[in-house]
């Protein structure tokens, strides 16, 4: 029986954390037949994720990768192309969250570090993926933004700035490459049950309690909720979808 991702070569960044969105995406796409390359700065962690996928019958390998370093992108893509011959899908999922209010002494430092990973990492990945996909006639790039890239979040101005940047550079690049059969879209998770959200809840507890209480669906999202959206964008079911933003938030930003 043909699966939705049969034959596709996929690179997913930020795959070490569990529970985490990158790990869930890797598992879901592998279930649908993709050959998955997972990357992360935490090599031991991402190797464990890849091993868990293989135990379930999927095809997955792992590589150490700092998305904020251009040389890392060049070497990861070169190795992937040497091994598999092409790149069909890139999921720029790696990201960090640093909560620092605007009056905090850490505010500017938090802004810089989050832009290096969340914005520069996704931008550099998009750049090298476009070059690789041109060689094989197209592909799909999915850049992970956030509902914080759509609406304001108290105490998270620097994170929101980084995720808003991801949304708009993705739309702009989508226009550049649409005629080359390269699609670029953003996914905007709401409050998802991951290690990152646990960190945010601990450091910004008062605001997070109010945010969680305001979710119309009445529950936190699960990493699989995001993985299923990414699956659609990675598959050939979305060949006429580019420059779009997909919000997966239980209705939070509909209010």
Q: Which domains does the chain have, with CATH numbers?
A: 9-254 (3.40.50.720)
Q: What is the mean pLDDT of residues 14-20?
A: 95
Cα distance between residue 85 and residue 129, in whole Å = 13
Per-residue pLDDT tens digits for 91-103 = 999 999 988 888 7
Per-residue pLDDT tens digits for 33-60 = 999 999 999 999 999 999 999 999 999 9
Per-residue pLDDT tens digits for 133-150 = 999 999 999 999 999 999
Percent of residues, the chain, with pLDDT higher than 70: 95
3-state secondary structure of 135: helix
Write down the catalytic residue from 159, 208, 240, 252: 159
Per-residue pLDDT tens digits for 165-219 = 999 999 999 999 999 999 999 999 999 988 766 665 566 666 667 777 889 998 8
| Displacement of CA 48 from its chain's centroid (Å) | 19
Cα distance between residue 77 and residue 64, in whole Å = 12
3-state secondary structure of 154: coil
Res 203: pLDDT: 61
Cα distance between residue 209 and residue 234, in whole Å = 33
CB 55 within 8 A of CB 30: no
The answer to whether residue 252 is catalytic is no
* Ordered alpha helix ranges (H), the chain: 21-31, 43-55, 70-84, 107-114, 121-136, 157-177, 195-203, 205-213, 223-234
pTM of the model: 0.94
Chain-wide mean pLDDT for the chain? 94
155 pLDDT band, cuts 50/70/90, is: confident
| β-bridge partners, 187 | 144, 246
CB 142 within 8 A of CB 187: yes
Q: What is the mean pLDDT of residues 94-116?
A: 91
Q: What is the mean pLDDT of residues 114-120?
A: 97
245 pLDDT band, cuts 50/70/90, is: very high
Specify burial of residue 100 (Cβ count, 10 A radius: 0-12, 13-18, 19+).
buried
Cα distance between residue 164 and residue 212, in whole Å = 21
Q: Which two tokens stand for residue 117?
A: 């990973």
pLDDT greater at residue 98 or residue 26: 26
| β-bridge partners, 67 | none
Res 104: pLDDT: 87
Task: Look at residues 123, 113, 138, 164 and name the one whose alpha carbon lies nearest to residue 13.
Answer: 123
pLDDT greater at residue 221 or residue 103: 221
1 pLDDT band, cuts 50/70/90, is: confident
Q: What is the DSSP string of 28-39?
A: HHHHTT-EEEEE
| β-bridge partners, 141 | 90, 184
| 8-state DSSP, 149 | G
**Distance set, CA 143 to CA 58, 69, 84, 211, 238 (Å):** 23, 17, 22, 24, 15
Cα distance between residue 93 and residue 133, in whole Å = 18
């Amino acid at each position: 029986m043909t699966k939705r991702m049969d034959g596709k070569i996929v690179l997913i960044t930020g795959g070490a954390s569990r529970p985490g969105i990158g790990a869930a995406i890797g598992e879901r796409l592998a279930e649908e037949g993709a050959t998955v390359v997972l990357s992360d700065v935490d090599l031991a962690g991402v190797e464990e994720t890849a091993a868990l996928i293989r135990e379930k019958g999927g095809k997955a390998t792992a590589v150490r990768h700092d998305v904020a370093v251009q040389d890392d992108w060049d070497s990861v893509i070169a190795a992937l192309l040497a091994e598999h011959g092409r790149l069909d899908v890139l999921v720029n999922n790696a990201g960090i969250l640093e909560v620092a209010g605007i009056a905090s002494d850490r505010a500017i430092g938090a802004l810089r570090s989050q832009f290096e990973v969340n914005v520069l990492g996704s931008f550099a990945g998009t750049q090298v993926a476009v070059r690789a996909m041109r060689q094989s006639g197209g592909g799909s790039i999915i850049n992970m933004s956030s509902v914080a890239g759509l609406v304001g979040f108290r105490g998270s101005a620097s994170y929101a700035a980084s995720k808003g940047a991801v949304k708009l550079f993705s739309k702009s690049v989508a226009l550049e490459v649409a005629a080359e059969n390269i699609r670029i879209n953003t996914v905007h998770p709401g409050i998802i049950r991951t290690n990152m959200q646990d960190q945010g809840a601990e450091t910004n507890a008062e605001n997070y309690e109010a945010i969680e209480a305001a979710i119309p669906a009445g529950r936190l999202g699960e990493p699989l909720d995001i993985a299923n959206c990414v699956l659609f964008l990675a598959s050939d079911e979305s060949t006429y979808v580019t420059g779009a933003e997909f919000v997966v938030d239980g209705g939070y930003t509909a209010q």
